[in-house]
Chains A and B, each alone.
Chain A
């Protein structure tokens, strides 16, 4: 009785391992080449990597910092991944993120004095809505006249960024020298995790991380178990067969790009509500663009995005310690990040290496 289920579980694990092989090999290759670069530049990778690991996972505070940095990448990674599943390249997550941040900075002040749970829900919804709205125009152009979303979402990123720049230096500028909005009242912010759960170590990670994980799980479910996700995947894989099956390709495109935009908007909301408590025009370190790399590494699987975002968060959080203790400039981390993306993109290369090691293994065995 138990045997068939064991067999399927074995198959499932084998399948999962195959799926994980490319990302894992890519990360290892990137670390390897990163080491060579460090050696050439006169640094010791055997000091640098342990230092980085310590900086990322060495203690409760470090882990919290890693998760904090993973949070916006999780949202933007999900945004890009969902678009990809529907055959759309939302390169403009950065712009949708800025608009989401803007909505939170404004609404948080408006809602001052109201209960915190209410404010959190309202601000998340508003940020998702404006992110979706910012993606709607490119989506409409794509669906109606075929304008390529790579161009239009990118252009909308510029528009969004500069609108925010103008607002924080002008109409929404808080009193003082610095171009930023006024600080949000406490009831309009996301609580830190250690404030919610006393047993956790003190760190900057906030409720946004948990929301991100929940959203990732929701998205995984949507893709697999709902007609909405089914139609998005069908259109992404084969628009002609989808059309023949009665799926409207234009409306599926619009829905998918708007959902993608909503997710990117949430990245902006959680950054403003959980980290900065206000908006300034440098509040995103290119999260929208790094999200593309996160989605690629996760192979557009929402659950994979959680892991990929944490990896990128760890690289970013560990970079500081690496610089302090091994004197390796943080820029090396950017090189490693770029290499990871390169190897994931060059999937065939990783596959070839996996194939070779397997063959060598077989030869050794025989």
Chain B
């Protein structure tokens, strides 16, 4: 085999209290897709950040084209032909696609940017690799998938031979994922090499030539998709067998806990996002709301948890009206909320785990008496919850921002479930988590149900909905268009109703009619 383009030899990186990478070695050949698989916090990003010059290794060496290099900065990495698309895009939102792509490497004429040349080069790259994009579109107006294309084009514009994609599919729809995969295949057909970071097993199976599995900062195995299966990969990644299908007993429905009646909710633009929705959830039952993102689920959750005032209709918890209650009243009445965006709504990242563990209960005994905290109690409760929910952290005094995504979500769960609520509203509780953490979250949600709590699950993942829910409500354009019992509907049927098939016809007609009127 030809010599590798990039070779990492025994890379070690330490952060205070953490060995992020422990003598990691990895080589990448031309025309190859290497998947870097591992749980959150396994050290994948640390490794590629060293290759991209964002971090300096403490030990070990990096060879590019067989020569040892000391990559000092991203600029240096780019000069060596290494491009990276970060999980969070590095684009200037008010600028156009072309401006973003050439930024830092602008073709100039007489000292001014040569926009016709820039646009032409963008067009050429875009047609060469099947990356269709409007070069004059403003980045801010583009869908996430398109922004990602702009990022890839940016790397190609700088003559990248190696493309590092850091969890590229986390933010994409299934359709966008398929398109990305075909782009990646056309790139490697042209001789580029791709490092594909992910924790999703299906993706590894479908795209990688070679899989390198990391756990706790070290490479624990290397294989080819043909030589293994998902269960084998999961075992390598987590270090034990993983249960994919959740085992659950049939639900025993008790008293009605949540009763939503003819609820309408407006969004920021004062448009009706939830249009006259009615449903109920009883004790010991998981009701899932399935739907494509942006069909009113977020507004529905905010209304139930007291974050948004409904325009009409009623919400009752155990017979008590909480329609116009505040978030505080919702919490105190027995509603717990695992928010969709844990960084924005779930945690105060700069707070330590003790402070995060009491958010929402911080006014109440035993944590606070007459407005003064009892840190002994807070620390004890935090330690207990950290143990119960298997939060991997050196201590309860660590800031939440220092934990991996999965552990942060466990902190949120520990707080929301530790409160012993009547109703758990869980919005996309496993978003961005790896299989081990997903398994844990699912088992916790089921345990809540089995102990007689009502659970309202909002999820975009059909698999999650199918495996957890006792009842499935399909939401489309602000309405519940269909209801299924567990196991009654296939994925295809659910997908059909989620995207506006069947009962939603009249909804489309109203929208079109409205547009004509306007």
Contacts and interface: CB of A to CB of B under 8 A. Distances in A.
Contacts of A357: none
A242 interface: yes
B11 to A, nearest CB: 20
B344 A243 contact: no
A246 B326 CA distance: 7
Contacts of A240: 344-345
A225 B348 contact: no
B351 A234 contact: yes
A242 to B, nearest CB: 7
Contacts of A245: 327, 331, 359-360, 362
Interface string A235-266: 00110111111111000000000000000000
B330 interface: yes
Given A227-B362, A246-B328, A248-B326, A234 B371 contact: no
B373 A246 contact: no
A231 interface: yes
A282 interface: no
A224 B352 CA distance: 12
B345 A244 contact: yes
A228 B363 CA distance: 9
A270 B268 CA distance: 47
A230 interface: yes
Given A225-B372, A230-B355, A238-B344, A244 B350 contact: no
Contacts of A244: 305, 307, 327, 337, 339, 345-346, 360
B347 interface: yes
Contacts of A246: 306, 326-332, 360
A230 B345 CA distance: 17
Nearest to A221: B372
A241 B307 contact: no
B242 interface: no
B327 A228 contact: no
Interface residues of B, number: 30
B351 A237 contact: yes
Contact of A237 (B305, B330, B350, B360): B350
Interface in B335-359: 337, 339, 344-351, 355, 359
B345 A241 contact: yes
A348 interface: no
A240 B307 CA distance: 10
B428 interface: no
A230 B373 contact: yes
Contact of A227 (B345, B347, B368): B368
Contacts of A242: 348, 359
A226 B375 CA distance: 10
Residue from A224, A231, A240, A241 having most chain B Cβ neighbours under 10 A:
A241
Contacts of B327: 243-246
B359 A234 contact: yes
Contacts of B371: 226-228
Nearest to B368: A227
Interface residues of A, number: 20
Contacts of A224: 373
Given A247-B328, A248-B326, A225 B373 contact: yes
A246 B349 CA distance: 17
B68 to A, nearest CB: 20
B373 A226 contact: yes
A248 B328 contact: yes
A238 B363 contact: no
Contacts of B330: 246
A233 B349 CA distance: 12
B268 to A, nearest CB: 14
B320 to A, nearest CB: 17
Give the one of A227, A246, A247 with max B CB within 10 A: A246
Contact of B346 (A225, A228, A237, A241): A241
A246 B372 CA distance: 18
Contacts of A228: 371
B49 to A, nearest CB: 18
A241 B373 contact: no
Contacts of A231: 362
Contacts of A241: 344-348, 359
Contacts of A237: 348-351
A230 B328 CA distance: 15
Interface in B294-329: 305-307, 326-329
Contacts of A248: 326, 328
A237 B343 CA distance: 12
A274 B422 CA distance: 58
Nearest to B358: A230
Contacts of A234: 348, 351, 355, 359
A294 to B, nearest CB: 23
A233 B362 CA distance: 13
A121 B346 CA distance: 43
B399 to A, nearest CB: 11
Interface centre among A224, A225, A230, A237, by most chain B C-beta atoms within 10 angstroms, is A230
A47 B445 CA distance: 72
A227 B374 CA distance: 11
A183 to B, nearest CB: 41
A289 B351 CA distance: 29
A225 B345 CA distance: 23
A176 B355 CA distance: 59
A238 B332 CA distance: 21
Between A233, A234, A248, the greatest number of chain B beta carbons within 10 A of the residue's beta carbon is seen for: A234
Contacts of B359: 234, 241-242, 245
Nearest to A228: B371
B63 to A, nearest CB: 24
Contacts of B363: 227
Q: Which of A228, A237, A245 has most B Cβ within 10 Å?
A: A245
B503 to A, nearest CB: 33
A240 to B, nearest CB: 5
A271 B332 CA distance: 46
A233 B372 CA distance: 15
B398 to A, nearest CB: 12
A278 to B, nearest CB: 39
A226 B307 contact: no
Nearest to A244: B345
A176 B344 CA distance: 61
Interface in B406-423: none
A226 B326 CA distance: 22
B326 to A, nearest CB: 7
A221 to B, nearest CB: 9
A238 B356 CA distance: 12
A234 B371 CA distance: 15
A238 B359 CA distance: 12
A228 B332 CA distance: 18
B484 to A, nearest CB: 30
Nearest to A224: B373
A158 B331 CA distance: 43
A286 B482 CA distance: 67
Given A231-B362, A234-B351, A244-B339, 11 more contacts: A227-B363, A227-B371, A227-B373, A237-B349, A238-B344, A238-B349, A240-B345, A241-B346, A244-B327, A244-B360, A246-B327
12 contacts: A225-B373, A226-B372, A227-B368, A227-B371, A237-B349, A240-B344, A241-B347, A243-B307, A243-B345, A244-B339, A244-B346, A244-B360
Interface of A: 224-228, 230-231, 233-234, 237-238, 240-248
Top 8 closest pairs, chain A to chain B, by CB: A246-B328, A245-B359, A245-B360, A244-B345, A238-B348, A246-B327, A246-B331, A237-B350
